[in-house]
Amino acid sequence: MRLFQPASKLALSALLPAGFACTGGSPAPGQNAQDHPGRAFYAQYCATCHGADMDGGMASSLVDGQWEFGDSREDIYRSIADGIPEAGMPAYRDVLDERQINLIVDAIQGVEYVPVSRVVEDEPEEYEVLETLDYDVRVEVWVGEGLEVPWGIDFLDASRALVTERAGRLRLVENGQLHPDPIADTPPVVAQGQGGMMAVTVHPDYEENGWIYLAYSRALDDGTSGPSQTSVVRGRIEDHRWVDQETIYRAPEDSHTNARQHFGTRVVFDEAGYLYFVIGDRGDPPTSQRLDSPNGKVHRLWPDGSIPEDNPFVDDEDALDTIYTYGHRNQQGMDIHPVTGDLWTAEHGPRGGDEINLIRAGKNYGWPEITYGIHYDGRTITRERFRPGIEPPVWVWRPSTALCAIEFYRGEQFPLWRNHLLATALRNEDLRLLQVRNDRVIHEEVILRDRGRIRDVTTGPDGAIYLLTSRPHQILRLTAEREVLR
């Protein structure tokens, strides 16, 4: 099997053997064969006799192409359902249902697992139900029209959410109703290429202080064109107008450029009250390694923009004081782990190098010195993937999914998913659930696909999962229809 296995994945591969990937199936890019739900049933009911890798043990191999009792789908199904009493193969008809047996047959035959979705029609409103390993998930369109490339979302209270549109607008949604007018007087943005209005984050003490943070590509002259760089401001909303604006972060003048890519960004607050945001390499990879450049960094500030005295590089004359970590390419996902309080980020890598990183003060994350990825045109960037002193990723995608936002699930709707990581993808147009144990990812499941490029994910106050999609430009709302065992 040629799938890459970072250290954090070893535990998983020990539990779920690689045999399936060699049985001739062709899992779609990113659809890791180990995720196949048929594998879980196999491990539970069959592995003791047919071997953990399906390659035999007390009973014969199921992956050697030799079939004593028939090799068609129906034959294999029958062998499992009815058993072969004379040979000592138990019957599973009363233990497993049709769907479960079919999943095992799929796993044996190397058939890719695609989460089944069906439209429920006898309800007043049509909605889709996704079958995931833990839940049947109801997918509703929360906002269906009126948005253009929605980029970031955050909730103000139980019923109202703010949504940015990359073109430069801040929108208000109340109970699924999009307010027809954007919030007035928000700052001008350079809405070109990947730039524009990006992150929106409501301060954790919003009820007391009213602060809302925006991050956007800001022109050097505060207009809508010319050299630009990522900037963070805060303001309040009164009478549907943006007021009281203060600049929280403005990059050094010489870092503004006409490049229109890799602006980052998200804004998050941790328990201690620090504010974190990110800037990408702006298309100039070597700047990620330079501590006098804001590019390719995680930055840490106090919420008023002042610099924490314990930032890792404040004593370094040549380094920018806001820098918290360096060596990043373009991070568009950030969240704080609800239990450990650690900052995790999602980094959009080159071809084949999307990463989840666990952020530790002062560390170097390697870009572009080491990476799992290659250039988009196929050229090698480096063959080096590990180097002492450089932080390895927690998780890597090869091929890339075009990783975007991440969110640790925190709500009541999906108790089995609490503290697990939701990760969205642009190119792959999917939402993945990563099971996290301590500092490791131990399992990955695609839970939604083909609903457009997904730029942001958040847990709403109601525990539902909200997704911002592009093409179609919508906000989706995911709730648990019921818990299941698959």
Residue 94 to residue 96: CA distance in whole angstroms: 6
Residue 64 CB, nearest distance to ligand HEC (Å)?
9
Strands 430-437, 421-425: parallel, antiparallel or unpaired by DSSP?
A: antiparallel
Contact 211, 234 (CB under 8 A): yes
Residue 104 CB, nearest distance to ligand HEC (Å)?
5
Q: Which of 5, 10, 18, 88 binds ligand HEC (CB under 6 A)?
A: 88
Nearest to 232 by CA among 279, 283, 191: 279
In angstroms and rounded to an integer, the radius of gyration of the C-alpha atoms of the chain is: 24
Q: Which is nearer to ligand HEC, 93 or 260 (CB)?
A: 93
Could you list the beta-strand ranges (E) of 309-416: 323-326, 331-336, 343-347, 354-359, 395-397, 403-408
Nearest to 279 by CA among 234, 235, 313, 320: 320
Q: Which is nearer to ligand HEC, 68 or 157 (CB)?
A: 68
Q: Is 59 in the site for ligand HEC (CB under 6 A)?
A: yes
Q: Is 80 in the site for ligand HEC (CB under 6 A)?
A: yes
Active site residues: 262
Residue 102 CB, nearest distance to ligand HEC (Å)?
11
Q: Which of 10, 87, 114, 184 binds ligand HEC (CB under 6 A)?
A: 87
Part of the chain binding ligand HEC (CB under 6 A), chosen from 65-73, 331-339, 407-415, 472-480 = 65-73
Q: Is 376 in the site for ligand HEC (CB under 6 A)?
A: no
Q: Is 84 in the site for ligand HEC (CB under 6 A)?
A: yes
Q: Which of 69, 302, 376, 386 binds ligand HEC (CB under 6 A)?
A: 69
Residue 486 CB, nearest distance to ligand HEC (Å)?
15
Q: Is 103 in the site for ligand HEC (CB under 6 A)?
A: no
Q: Which is nearer to ligand HEC, 104 or 199 (CB)?
A: 104
Residue 92 CB, nearest distance to ligand HEC (Å)?
5
Within 163-182, the residues that bind ligand HEC by CB under 6 A are none
| Residue 173, CA distances (Å) to 158, 220, 306, 412, 447 in order | 11, 31, 32, 22, 25
Within 28-47, the residues that bind ligand HEC by CB under 6 A are 45-46
Residue 54 to residue 38: CA distance in whole angstroms: 12
Q: Which of 50, 138, 351, 449 binds ligand HEC (CB under 6 A)?
A: 50
Residue 72 CB: number of other CB atoms within 10 A?
10
Nearest to 153 by CA among 162, 140, 145: 162
Residue 342 to residue 218: CA distance in whole angstroms: 29
Q: Output the residue with the shortest Cβ distance to ligand HEC.
A: 46
Q: Which is nearer to ligand HEC, 78 or 236 (CB)?
A: 78
Q: Which is nearer to ligand HEC, 46 or 232 (CB)?
A: 46
Place of tokens 């229809």: 481
Contact 305, 233 (CB under 8 A): no
First to last CA, the chain: 26
Q: Which is nearer to ligand HEC, 52 or 84 (CB)?
A: 84
Contact 429, 453 (CB under 8 A): yes
Residue 113 to residue 102: CA distance in whole angstroms: 11
Question: Which run of H or E residues covers position 374?
Answer: none
Q: Is 49 in the site for ligand HEC (CB under 6 A)?
A: yes
Part of the chain binding ligand HEC (CB under 6 A), chosen from 86-94, 195-203, 323-331, 400-408 = 86-94
Within 224-283, the residues that bind ligand HEC by CB under 6 A are none
# binding residues, ligand HEC (CB under 6 A): 23
Q: Is 89 in the site for ligand HEC (CB under 6 A)?
A: yes
Q: Which is nearer to ligand HEC, 59 or 307 (CB)?
A: 59
Part of the chain binding ligand HEC (CB under 6 A), chosen from 53-61, 319-327, 410-418, 477-485 = 53-61
Residue 344 phi, psi dihedral angles, 5° rounding: -115, 145
CB contact set of 42 (below 8 Å; sequence gap of 6+): 50, 54, 104, 107, 108
Q: Which of 6, 9, 36, 92 binds ligand HEC (CB under 6 A)?
A: 92
- CA torsion, ordered 98, 99, 100, 105, to nearest 10 deg: 90
Residues found near ligand HEC in the complex (CB under 6 A): 45-46, 48-50, 58-60, 62, 67-70, 76, 79-80, 84, 87-90, 92, 104
